[in-house]
Amino acid sequence: PDLPSKILSDEGKLIHIVSNLISNALKFTERGKVELRVKKLAHSKIQILVKDTGIGIPKEKLSMIFNKFEQVNGTIRRKYGGTGLGLTIVKELVKILGGKIEVTSELGKGSTFSFSFAYRLLKQREVSDKDQAKLKPKIKKKTKKDINILIAEDDDFGYYIIERSLEDYTITRAKDGKDALEKIKKKSYDLVLMDIQMPKMDGLEATRKIREKDFHLPIIALTAKAMKGDKEKCLEAGCSDYISKPITPDELIAKVNQYSAKSRLRK
């Protein structure tokens, strides 16, 4: 059956869910393809499916991948970066929408994540282009704050959450520790948000290397681990502060304002 042109559901939650599933599929698929399929089901439900031809998941791990910080093994985490709380949050968001997420996988061949949710049809009368133009609100373009922030985050979904929270700031992205070091060499930043679990060079090593040349640049660690001793490891490496994932916009903005103000005073 044809998909409805407009539905009533929680747009924000759907964006978070689908973005995260696609981000993970792309991360673990070096060759092949990632597919997104949308299907209308009976009883006013829609199914969304994300299928990849990536590394796959062992059968014994399938029941655990939605647990906090679960990864197939340490070698994969070091090569691809961590999934952190991503799939845990996805499961909870799907549950809030009244659905259930399922996964099938074959090691070495790929994985398929699917979920369904109920929706309501959005009925809207047809209006002319002229009327549509009148209905559109006039939005003034926001002036970004003159605060330059480097975000070192390999995970696309994780970066998306931070980017949305800091849309009033001038931000630059680095996808791993080495990339962050290169960008810092070329440009001056007021603050660095440093994810700890990244491929090629992790956040702790990148922070140590930054501190060899710049002792004052504020670096806030972002980590999915909330275990005892993690904060101390970040501070020992040279981080100025620490935020545990999942990140809340209020806490992030408060830390950014606090440390960027200190950075400006030193300049």
Going along the chain from its start, the domains and CATH numbers come out as 7-121 (3.30.565.10), 145-266 (3.40.50.2300)
Is the entire prediction scored with pTM above 0.85?
no
Give the number of other CB atoms < 10 A from CB of residue 105: 20
Q: What's the pLDDT at 139? A: 43
Q: What's the pLDDT at 58? A: 87
More confident residue, 106 or 23: 106
pLDDT tens-digit series, residues 206-265: 999 999 998 899 999 998 765 567 788 999 999 999 998 778 888 899 999 999 887 766
pLDDT tens-digit series, residues 59-99: 888 888 887 545 555 554 544 454 445 788 888 889 988 89
